[in-house]
Amino acid sequence: MPLLCLPPPPPRAVTARLPRQRRRTAAPREEAQRPTLALLGLPTLSTLLPALALVSTAAPLAAQVQPVLGDADPAEHRRQRAARFLQQSTFGPTPGLLTEVSQIGAAAFVDQQLQLPPTLHEPFVEALLAEVEATLQDGGVLAQQPPEVRQQVIQLVSRYSTAAHRYAWWQAAMTGEDQIRQRVAFALSEIFVVSDELDFLERNPRALASYYDVLVRGALGNYRDLLLEVTLHPAMGIFLSHFNNARSDPDAGIFPDENYAREVMQLFSIGLDELHRDGTPKLDGQGERIPTYTNDEITELAKVFTGLGPGEPFGRFGGRTAGTLPMRMYEPFHEPGEKHLLNGFVIPAGQTGMQDVEAAVDNLFHHPNVAPFIVRRLIQRLVTSNPTPAYIDRVAAVFEDDGSGERGDLSAVVRAILLDPEARGGDLDPLIADHAGKLQEPWLRYVGLLRALGAESPSGLYLNLGDQARAALAQHPLGAPSVFNFFSPDFRPNGPVAAAGLTAPEFQITNSSTVLSATNFIDQVSIGIEPIQLPLLPMLCLDHLDLCIEAAACTDQSCTRDVFAQIRPEALALAQEHQVVFDLAPHVALAEAGQLDALIEELGLLLAGGALSAETREVIYETLVALPGPEIQARTAVYLIAMSPEAAVAR
């Protein structure tokens, strides 16, 4: 899996020692046999299925609030609360964070986190791409090759470079100190959606990293500034088609594109129906919901977003963009005249195009729906799928005024979300407690597992194409199938959830196929056969461009095999350098000492937020007792706890 540990520089951009150092060819070594469960002496998945089935039914979801503490040691009680808090606020507990939060408390940790500078993605991507470009231009060697050879080499290396934004994401998630900011940015990426499923963005890691940094900076900034930056970013402009959006020309049949105008209201700010501050819908005299906008207002708002084009200094409207500079206004292509927006607000004629954009953003920002709409979505992504109206109202009040008169202060909003009594638990109403929590997103469970086990690579680089994880988990950052994200915030699976009028968004990507593939994937990860796909061949081409050119010029397979046989030792060394290693030593030590209860307790804190039920603990304990050897016991405990319902549902 991707991994990189590097010294974090000020302004805390994601950086790393990139793998572009000329290495001496390693001495030939025997090819390591690919490990299997049997070779490792570990129980196969089929032998664990009975225990897994028992674990899956040991604790009904409705009962998984927080385990009864009884006479639990106060220190353990604090660790349990810390684990649950870290599930909500970060990419998952680590032993170090667990100790820190249990000592200083959630409020102090939040206050510390709010002061940390952002860990940015774009500098990392720029450094990596500069490395690639320098190699390909080195001495003009590649330019001298026939076009078909040159193209093959470029395509091969691009498999490494086009995934640069993913490496940057992993680096920040695994090593960034600003965990709350990074977790909120991930939540925002599922609200202000752009996706690498779009061809231009799939091939443009610079644009994706630049856009994600808008979310990273804005995660603890002001919502109004965030909305404006999102509106002007070329990644969003291309994704929702207001980039190079021209003014009306009825004679030519040209009218402003309405895509962004519709989605910025429906998905990014006010939603479809008017809301009370507690998020409940307002009703008219007939008991019907009141729409927030009409088609006429979409048409009027679309006029505002005309004339925006490439931000490059010498760009031209209708031209292309690198995807990192904010779009700028090209006045001749901006729709002139008045624009009639929400709640009777009129943008006057005679303003510049950018003044129109600013006024439209202000009109949305000050709409009374914004606070409950955005607050509910953030609570859903961080804490619970079904926040009560009282919870939404308390946090929406902070959105409206952070205590100093500022509206839209997201740092205050995030603090209020994470420290609210409904988030922190305690003496909740039984009905609220029964509905509390959320199904963990598959991607978050995966990242949390890696963090909990201290995943590292010798190189400090978190490099991973992520193909297998994306396929198995049906999810990856900036990879939603549409602007509507991977799942709807209002999704209700058939059965008890729908009957109770509740929502469970993450269940929309949960089915028999994804459950099985995720189970197999986590199985491989937890027992040490991590299906991480390193871009070894492209990386080797950066160090052995001459051999890559020679291989691309081959006309038969035997020639290709002969060429790459020459760099096989280097490939093995490179794989070892970037191999992910889990720190299982503390867990193996507990098993070796016969402290299986302590092993289950510790892993339960790290992987399940301290919520393992007595039934689940017993099933896992009985399974471990029957296994030979402490390492097998430790790895099996990781797998069973990671796949338990308590780990799946964050309560």
Confidence at 24, pLDDT banded by 50, 70, 90: very low
The alpha helices in 383-494, defined as continuous H runs, are 389-400, 410-419, 421-424, 430-435, 442-452, 467-473
- Indicate the range of 141-150, 168-177, 282-291, 484-493 predicted with least confidence: 141-150
Please indicate, yes or no, whether the overall pTM of this predicted structure exceeds 0.75. yes
Total residues belonging to the chain: 651
Looking at the DSSP bridge assignments, the partners of residue 347 are 339
Q: Please, what sign has the CA dihedral across residues 281, 282, 286, 290?
A: negative
Amino acid (one-letter) located at 183: R
Query: Which residue carries 């990879």 as its tokens?
Result: 479
Specify the DSSP class assigned to residue 388.
-
Residue boundaries of the structural domains of the chain: 72-107, 244-367
Looking at the DSSP bridge assignments, the partners of residue 267 are none
Angle between helices 614-625 and 45-58 (to 10 degrees): 160
- The answer to whether 3 and 463 have CB atoms below 8 angstroms apart is yes
Nearest alpha-carbon partner for 613 in 570, 577, 650, 644: 644
- The answer to whether 378 and 66 have CB atoms below 8 angstroms apart is no
* pLDDT of 532: 56
User: Checking phi first, is residue 244 left (phi over 0); if not, alpha (psi -120 to 50) or beta?
Assistant: left
DSSP-derived pairing of the beta strands 346-347 and 339-340: antiparallel
User: Checking phi first, is residue 6 left (phi over 0); if not, alpha (psi -120 to 50) or beta?
Assistant: beta
Looking at the DSSP bridge assignments, the partners of residue 651 are none
Distance of alpha carbon 214 from alpha carbon 48, whole angstroms: 44
- Report residue 398 as tokens: 């902070």
- Report residue 531 as tokens: 């299906």
Q: What tens digit of pLDDT does each residue of 130-158 get?
A: 988 888 887 688 888 999 998 888 888 88
* Burial letters 431-465, b for 16+ CB under 10 A, else e: ebbbbbbbbbbbbbbbbbbbbbbbbbbebbbbbbb
- Report residue 650 as tokens: 């964050």
> Mean per-residue pLDDT for 355-370?
99
- The answer to whether 42 and 149 have CB atoms below 8 angstroms apart is no
Distance of alpha carbon 616 from alpha carbon 646, whole angstroms: 9
- Report residue 466 as tokens: 């992520």
Q: What tens digit of pLDDT does each residue of 32-91 get?
A: 333 333 433 444 444 444 554 554 444 444 334 343 333 455 788 899 999 999 999 999
Amino acid (one-letter) located at 370: V
